[in-house]
Amino acid sequence: MHAVDANSFISVGGDGMAVLWRCAEKDGTLVAQIPAAIFCLEIHHDMLFLGTRLGEIYSLDFKHKLLKNQSKADNSALFALHHDGNSLWAGGQMGRLMELDPVSLELKSFVQVSDKSIRRLYAQGEHLIVCCSDGSVYVYDKASRKIIAQQRCSDNSVFAWQSRNGAAFTAGRDARIHQWEEQTEVQDVNAHWYTINDLSLNPELPLLASASMDKSVKIWQELDLKLLKVIDKERLEAHSSSVNRLLWLDAERLVTCSDDRSVQLFRIEMN
């Protein structure tokens, strides 16, 4: 999922569809359908970029539903896209971090980060944070086009990373949330039964949300990872399958996306 503005967002899925959702409306609007499973997306202004299971990238003007370009970026699945205003960055199953021209989608440069998959990309100033299936998080410097740091976070895949106020959080296949300060682990919480697919920090409050293959979403106190709320089917008629992505729209509204083919909007009220 990716926010369009404070009241709308786009979700994608294995059916090749990209759907625009507005919070005030129950039904979504189809903005694109391509002949491959979509594994990642990025939005920059009015442009929507889609990465597929087959290593393709599509660029579309989603407001006018116009296909602008498409390219075969890699030979296997793409799991992560990031647009920094100048370049489109992509990573996937081959472990390559690729820099592409966002208009032509032509390859500008690449670096082999790992022999395992790149799972997520995050911006941090002039650096990119690269989460990999080898259990590490890498720091890529865009100016020098080099990996300048590697942090071993787990014995399993790292699927999510978040950072604020000098602290970083990682999570993945080991179902644990790890809290770091200057690459030193200060806390390790057994957070879910199965793989944690996503983490998201609340934009205004000291809260961290986690989404898991165990069908639940959990809300944690950011400072000490104290569990505050559990959102699951038993308590709140929530998702019936793996929860894959999270998106805070503001301090109270949290959007979740699941393998049960639904997106849900929750208002999180803290006592």
Q: Is residue 3 part of a domain?
A: yes
Whether residue 143 is found in the same domain as residue 16: no
Query: Could you read off the pLDDT of 44-96 as tens digits, one per residue?
Result: 999 999 999 999 999 999 989 999 999 999 999 999 999 999 999 999 999 99
Which of 37, 62, 81 marks a domain boundary? 81
Which 3-state string (H, E, C) describes the chain? CEEEECCEEEEECCCCEEEEEECCCCCCEEEEECCCCEEEEEEECCEEEEEECCCEEEEEECCCCEEEEEEECCCCCEEEEEECCCCEEEEECCCEEEEECCCCCCEEEEEECCCCCEEEEEEECCEEEEEECCCEEEEEECCCCEEEEEEECCCCCEEEEEEECCEEEEEECCCEEEEEECCEEEEEEECCCCCEEEEEECCCCCEEEEEECCCCEEEEECCCCCEEEEECHHHHCCCCCCEEEEEECCCCEEEEEECCCCEEEEECCCC
159-173 pLDDT per residue, tens = 999 999 999 999 999
pLDDT band at 18 (very low <50, low <70, confident <90, very high): very high
- Domain of 41 in residue numbering reads as 1-81
Q: Residue 259 pLDDT more than 80? A: yes
271 pLDDT exceeds 80? no
Are residues 19 and 147 part of one domain? no
Report the chain's mean pLDDT, rounded to a whole number: 95
Number of domains composing the chain: 2
Q: What is the CATH number of the domain that holds 136?
A: 2.130.10.10
Rounded percentage of the chain residues whose pLDDT exceeds 70: 100
| Residue-level pLDDT at 26 | 86
Residue 236: pLDDT band (50, 70, 90) is confident
For residue 58, what is the domain's CATH number? Answer: 2.40.128.630
